[in-house]
Structure formats: C-alpha cells, structure tokens
Amino acid sequence: MKCKLCNSKTNLFYTNNHAKYYKCGTCAAILMHPDYYPSINNEKIRYLEHNNNVNDLGYQKFVNPIVNAVQEDFNNTSTGLDFGCGTGPVISKLLRNKNYSITTYDPFFDNNLNALKTTYNFIVCCEVIEHFHHPLQEFKRLKTLLKPGGKLYCMTDLFSENIIFKNWYYKEDNTHVIFYLKNTFKWIEKNIGFSKVTVNNRLITFEI
C-alpha cells in the first residue's frame, strides 16, 4: 500500500485480528490499511463514547499543554480555530474564559464550513491528527488556514522504536488510523512548508 501522507511505499508492520498496519519507509508514519477503517457511522458512535465534559477538571488538565502554549505565544487579540473540537470543546471554553476569540469546527459535531473560509493566528488540534484518513490533504488545509506568523498546535501520542506496538494502548481505538514518529513531523514540516516544528512530549507545534 502507498503511504497516505507522503505517497511512498510502505511495508507490513503489524497485523492482528482487527487490522493490518503498514510503516512508511520515507516519512516513518504507521498506517492502518484503509480496508479496516470504521464506517462513518461507527466512527461517530465511537466519538460519542468519549466523555468530553468541558467542566471536567481532569479533561481540562489534559488539554492544558495546548491552552498554556497558546497563552504564552499569543495575546487575546489573536483569533483561533479549534479544529476537530468534538462534542466537548474544552480548549475553546478555557481560552474563551481568558477572552480569546476562537471558532470551533468538527466534521461530525460542528460542521461549520464557514470556519474554513478564513484564516487564524493559531489552530488547536487536540487528539485529532491520529484520526486523519487523508493526512496530507488535512495538513495542507490546516497550513492554508494560518495567517503569517501563525502556529498549529497538535496533541497526539507519538510512536517510538522503544514502544512495543503489539502492547500499545493507542492502537486499540479503531478510529486511530495513523501514528506519527518525530521524523514524520519533520517530513510534514519540510514538505508541507512549515518553517519549524517543535515536539514537546505529546505537544507538537508547527510554525508558519
């Protein structure tokens, strides 16, 4: 199969009773074979199982790395987009509490297409990029939605060579169809045209 991110050749990496995963030799991404993607309906059902209560303190703490990064890098005269905000846009809530102007978009739960017709100083994308069925197109789109000097903040679990994929909890969610290594983000930086990428644990920041 061809890599859905860089269109290079991949090799079978891991297989179980539920899916087959392939590893790209160019961008290092690990990808579920599309034959095993959940249907749109099953994908939505899975997202509805997430307990994304915006008032949940544990959930707020979970997203703090993104919220803090935005506040460090931008003042509240800047505009932002919560891309893939899900059923509980907690990042938007926390930033709005600080008087930030932030727009929400989610293809399942907030399909506000007008949100994709303007540009922003920053975009937050929390626990979203591992769900991308068309990662190349999505990262290109996200870049076009940023103003000069803008930043894209992503949160996801990175794969590394010291993780035993067979035992990795992150693959057990069948809506997670692509996994990234540090080198994958470097490929995105170089080939999609970001000026810089910084990986800080689960927080990945792309800059224009």
Domain extents in the chain: 39-156+182-207
- The CA distances from residue 152 to 20, 56, 96, 125, 199, in Å, are 30, 25, 18, 7, 12
- Output the pLDDT for position 49: 77
- Output the pLDDT for position 37: 97
Model-wide pTM > 0.75 = yes
Provide the pairing of β-strand 178-179 with 30-32.
Answer: antiparallel
Alpha helices, DSSP H, located in the chain:
40-48, 57-73, 90-96, 135-144, 182-192
- The CA distances from residue 93 to 49, 51, 54, 69, 99, in Å, are 20, 16, 7, 15, 10
Q: Which residue has the tokens 């690990």?
A: 30
Assigned CATH for 39-156+182-207: 3.40.50.150
- Output the pLDDT for position 52: 66
- Output the pLDDT for position 204: 98
Q: What is the token pair recorded at 100?
A: 């930030």
Count of CA atoms in the C-beta half-sphere (13 A) of 197: 23
- Output the pLDDT for position 56: 73
φ/ψ (deg, to 5) at 94: -65, -40
Per-residue pLDDT tens listing for the chain (208 residues): 999 999 999 999 999 999 999 999 999 999 999 999 999 899 988 888 766 666 677 778 889 999 999 999 999 999 999 999 998 899 999 999 999 999 999 999 999 999 999 999 999 999 999 999 999 999 999 999 999 999 999 999 999 989 999 999 999 999 999 999 999 999 999 999 999 999 999 999 999 9
